[in-house]
A = this chain, B = another copy of it.
Amino acid sequence: MGERDEGTCEARVVHGARLAALQPLIAGEERAQVEAERFRALGDPTRLRILCALGLTELCVCDLSGLLGITQTAASQHLKILRTFGMVRYRKQGRMAFYRLADLSLTGLLARLREAPGREEAAGERQSG
């Protein structure tokens, strides 16, 4: 688990000292873990489509599952994950739960998701023609 061949390569670009100076500038494992989990939550097509739908309108679980063509169970399980990361919120009215997009910073992403495919070059690196 901690066995890396750190002593093998001697032709380092950044030798010893400079390499050590870089270390504190790089995100620690825990910090990276937390951030990665957030991306992982977005790294599922069904969850992206759920967010896409909830970005348009508030929906109950049943409507959502019907709209996306997934089972209620699947919808509920995905919503639980999205709740964990504060990406969606819900209000309970009777026995139904109305979900809505909570993380407004995702709005731009979701708008891009609705565009025609073939434009995912670098998410910001447009070569202007």
Please list the residues of chain A having a beta carbon within 8 angstroms of any beta carbon in chain B. 2-6, 8-9, 11-14, 19, 22-23, 25-27, 29-49, 52-53, 56-60, 62-63, 65-72, 86, 96, 98, 103-105, 113-114, 117, 120-125
Contact = CB atoms under 8 A, between A and B. Distances in A.
Q: How many copies, total?
A: 2
A6 B70 CA distance: 9
B43 A43 contact: yes
Nearest to A108: B124
A4 B69 contact: yes
A45 B33 contact: yes
B32 A48 contact: yes
Given A34-B120, A42-B39, A123-B103, A49 B26 contact: yes
Given A63-B9, A65-B5, A120-B34, A56 B26 contact: yes
A43 B39 contact: yes
B71 A5 contact: yes
